[in-house]
A and B are shown apart, each in its own frame.
Chain A
Amino acid sequence: MEMPVLSVRDLVVEIPTRHAVLRPVNGVTFDLHRGEILGMVGESGAGKSMTGNAVIGLLDRPARIAGGEILLNGERIDQLHGEELRRLRGKHIGMVFQDPLTSLNPLLTIGEQLTETITEHLNVSAAEARQRAVDGLREVGIPAAEQRMDAYPHQFSGGMRQRVVIALALCAEPSLIIADEPTTALDVSVQAQIIALLKRLCRERGTAVMLITHDMGVIAETADRVAVLYAGRMAELGLARDVLTQPNHPYTIGLMGSTPLASAGRARLYQIDGSMPRLDALPSGCAFNPRCSRAQSKCSQDPSPSLAAHQDRAACWFGGENAQ
């Protein structure tokens, strides 16, 4: 089997606070292969974005990687610093942010922002960088790309700006894209276009995508595999069609039950009682046990069930057999 583009092993991110050390990401493990799209789902604070930021080395202090390994094309990247990390970003890992209205510098033309990124990472002349930038814009579907090079971000609509952001993330031809809620800030009508665009471009180039979202619809449409995060831990990991249609972890079951689907004729959506525990007040054992309808005494005991990358799909003592 070919080497995964990204391999995350037992990743732990810690935030030291005055009272305790919080672990917003605790033991996350997954592989991501060439051309594959991995959807990362979970509610706010589950550690999705934190995982993405840890991979690209953009954790805001005092958050830090406290354990585990991150391998990009077989090489450790979790211990890189400063200059090495900077060369990695943009060149090997691209990132698409949530809000295209704020992720472009308002005072620089999009051409300037594209060419500066290209000349930073690729050894090309100014003229070639410009040509690549124009090609990049054309590929993401900006009409009249040549003329639009000298336009400023405010002269584009939100959807167009997100296209520019995608062009920027892809312009140095990285092998991995981290898309952190790329459609959340967009109009519903534009969301589908952007997702389709991201999917097409990454398929064509064989770029692996880590798609962070809480939108199950986007996952269903786009992802090859899905990782479900809960309170910083992996709850379930598997092929998208399996996880979406036959979830194994009680949390995923609840999550799927609470997602409105056009095809399902259910009158009322399911609601998971309670809310995700705060990071400074995690229950012992499985973090989901206080809300879980199937919890037994085993579930509140340490150690909590873990999910090894290639064996079980769900991190639940009763995962497989208890599924509907």
Chain B
Amino acid sequence: MLAYSIRRVVQSIVVLLVVGLVAFSMFRFVGDPIDNMLGQERTDADIERLRGELGLDRPFVVQYGRFLTNAATGNLGVSYRQGRPVASILMERAPATLELAAVSGLFAIVLGVALGVFTAIRRNGIAANLIMTISLVGVSLPTFLIGILLIYLFAVELGWLPSFGRGDTVKLGGWSTGFLTSSGLKALILPSITLGLYQMTLIMRLVRSEMLEVLRAEYIRFARARGLRERAINFHHALKNTLVPVITVTGLQLGSIIAFAIITETVFQWPGVGLLFINAIQFVDIPVMAAYLMLISVMFVGINLIVDLLYFAIDPRLRVDRTVTEG
């Protein structure tokens, strides 16, 4: 298991290095940053001077090496547009996105697993079929449309929930949280549902089909024959056996929750890194774009690493066998 873990960590680092290369090459190939930084009234001398100051006259490999070491120490460059270090801009924005992603991830997993189990156990019931039909809507409607519909219903027509922003936030050290104020919590509801709905329906459908498969297994019959309670059979015996594939997909989905947050944040004007990224694209603010790319990939790779290690916690067959009896 240790060897496996080390191998997975090394793989993760390789992935991050490749993403770093892509992020870095944006600086060189998506326009010349010097053009953006100096105005119309520039001279060739200005250009050369700035090029020297920024180290852009050095060889590619040297620049990439510097980029990596800087990124590793938290120095992600300076935003072209805001003139401030990208790292501190990200630090301001990240809590909003992470809180949104956490709440929608929780919503997707809890409701997805619960409804998946329910629709599998009551697979011929009216309620289960209704849920399955409605879930098709969740899978097929695009995120922005769901967001706009929710805003129209709950913010415009009913006036129950805010249509944009994070509400009031409280500073805890460097972290601004919306969890501690009622307006902050209210503001989380619509964006979280918008962001998590697709994932929720996906997890639900996956859990349902896995459950149906497992419920046909011989050990479930045997558990019945031993007179165990239905609840123990469904939640202890069956659900546990559905978890490995569910965790794989859920892990990937959590990564994409953070990535898809761009759309939801734009619809709800949520002050997170996604909105920052959209604005950065409009201004060709490459350091911000590169840093965003790196941040997302770190999260993606991190989540996948955790998922791979979780398999061991769930499935004993993957752990090293020290004792095998013959006979």
Contact = CB atoms under 8 A, between A and B. Distances in A.
Given A102-B217, A151-B323, A152-B317, A90 B225 contact: yes
Given A99-B218, A120-B229, A105 B223 contact: yes
B221 to A, nearest CB: 7
Contact of B228 (A109, A120, A151, A152): A120
Contacts of B218: 97, 99, 102-103
Report whether over half of chain B's contact residues are helix, strand or loop; otherwise say mixed. Answer: helix
B327 interface: yes
Nearest to B317: A154
Interface string B44-77: 0000000000000000000000000000000000
B219 A95 contact: no
A142 B222 CA distance: 20
B325 A89 contact: no
Contacts of B229: 86, 120
Given A106-B317, A108-B237, A89 B224 contact: yes
B202 to A, nearest CB: 23
A58 B293 CA distance: 55
B227 A106 contact: no
Interface residues of B, number: 28
Interface stretch (A39-47, A155-163, A256-264, A271-279): A155-163
A267 interface: no
Contacts of A156: 324-325
Interface in B283-327: 314-317, 321, 323-327
Nearest to B223: A105
Q: Size band of the A side of the interface?
A: 35 or more
A117 B224 CA distance: 10
A298 interface: no
B227 to A, nearest CB: 3
Contact of A86 (B227, B316, B325): B227
Contact of B325 (A97, A121, A160, A172): A160
Contact of B227 (A90, A155, A159, A165): A90
B224 to A, nearest CB: 6
B228 A157 contact: no
B317 A105 contact: no
A168 B226 contact: yes
Given A97-B221, A105-B219, A90 B228 contact: yes
Contact of A117 (B217, B228, B241, B315): B228
B153 interface: no
B222 A165 contact: yes
A90 B219 CA distance: 14
Contact of B226 (A90, A143, A152): A90
A113 to B, nearest CB: 8
A97 B217 contact: no
B127 interface: no
A120 B325 contact: no
Contact of B222 (A95, A143, A190): A95
A41 to B, nearest CB: 22
Contacts of B222: 95, 97, 103-104, 165, 168
B323 to A, nearest CB: 6
B137 interface: no
A195 interface: no
Contacts of B227: 86-91, 117, 120-121, 172
Contact of A58 (B219, B221, B324): B221
A56 interface: yes
Contacts of B324: 155-157
B240 interface: yes
A169 B223 CA distance: 10
A135 interface: no
Given A89-B227, A102-B219, 10 more contacts: A90-B225, A91-B227, A97-B221, A103-B222, A107-B315, A117-B228, A142-B325, A148-B325, A154-B316, A168-B226
Interface of B: 217-219, 221-230, 232, 236-237, 240-241, 314-317, 321, 323-327
6 contacts: A86-B224, A97-B218, A97-B221, A120-B227, A143-B325, A157-B325
